[in-house]
Amino acid sequence: MGEGNDGNAALSVIIPTLNEQDHIAAAVASAFAAGADQVIVSDGGSHDATVSIAESLGVCLVQGAKGRGPQLNLGAQAARGQIYCFLHADAQLHPDSGRAMRDALRDPRVVGGNHRIHFGATAHGRFLAAFYHVIRRLRVYYGDSAIFCRPEAFAAVGGFPPFPLMEDLKFVHRLHRIGRMAYLSPRVTASPRRWEQGGVAAAWASWLVIQAAYFLRVSPHRLARLYKQIR
């Protein structure tokens, strides 16, 4: 799949899932609405209706071991587009997202990028969106902002590392080393659930601890154990 039906660069959207029956249909619909030529659902062993829902939506379904990094890599193996976009199952792309990704990658210096993000209209959601915008300037951003890249760039950095935590941040840091990363205006709508489960204060405390430990080069496996302890 070199070009899409409209002659533009073909877009493959890869969605990792694990028990996401309440969200997967909206994520897939948003990918097609954004102009995806291929949508891949990479499931890590769901026990709910995620797989059957995905199969009914005209996607490419792949199944493998649980773990976001390995699931994304498995999905990328099935991708045939000239653009890979990695979308969380509880997020939705903006309808203009496909056009924006294609436009950004017309510049040969750009190897990938991510999207501005919308967490809803609550005060905490607006704060989160503003906070993400600020830390983006520090090259700190995550998979919930719908990271995208060229297949060649994905291969050059070895895909996502097999980390139990922070695989997305390591991935984008590696991409920044090999080229420019675009920051797109169309907003991905993301769920704030990971910031709200167990309480907002606890979520922020754990985020600060994990970020500090990561930048102090604590191993991702130790980070995962620490995350379980403080959450």
CA-to-CA distance for 171 and 95, rounded, in angstroms?
A: 25
Name the CA dihedral angle for 197, 201, 202, 206, rounded to a multiple of 10 degrees.
110
pTM of the model: 0.92
Residues 54, 165, single domain; the answer is yes
pLDDT at position 231 is 44
Per-residue pLDDT of the chain (231 residues; tens, 9 = 90+): 666 645 589 999 999 999 999 999 999 999 999 999 999 999 999 999 999 999 999 999 999 999 999 999 999 999 999 999 999 999 999 999 999 999 999 999 999 999 999 999 899 999 999 999 999 999 999 999 999 999 999 999 999 999 888 999 999 999 999 999 999 999 999 998 888 777 888 888 888 888 888 888 888 788 777 776 544
Instruction: List the one residue out of 105, 114, 99 whose CA is nearest residue 152.
Output: 105
Residues 127, 18, single domain; the answer is yes
pLDDT at position 67 is 92
Residues 150, 210, single domain; the answer is no
Residues 151, 209, single domain; the answer is no
CB atoms inside a 10 Å sphere around CB 183: 14
Number of domains within the chain: 2
> Which single residue is written with the structure tokens 């496996």?
221
CATH of the domain at 30: 3.90.550.10
Expressed as residue numbers, the domain containing 92 is 11-191
Residues 181, 218, single domain; the answer is no
pLDDT at position 62 is 98
Residues 48, 133, single domain; the answer is yes
pLDDT at position 1 is 65
Residues 81, 181, single domain; the answer is yes
Q: What are phi and psi of 36, to 5 degrees?
A: -65, 135
In this structure, is residue 6 part of a structural domain? no
pLDDT at position 165 is 86
Residues 171, 201, single domain; the answer is no
Residues 219, 127, single domain; the answer is no
CA-to-CA distance for 188 and 114, rounded, in angstroms?
A: 9
- Per-position DSSP letters for 36-95, written without gaps between them: -SEEEEEES--SSSHHHHHHTTTPEEEE--S-HHHHHHHHHHH--SSEEEE--TT-B--T
> Which single residue is written with the structure tokens 């935590």?
165
In this structure, is residue 118 part of a structural domain? yes
Instruction: List the one residue out of 41, 11, 12 whose CA is nearest residue 26.
Output: 41
Residues 113, 165, single domain; the answer is yes
pLDDT at position 109 is 98
Residues 30, 76, single domain; the answer is yes
In this structure, is residue 3 part of a structural domain? no
Residues 223, 127, single domain; the answer is no
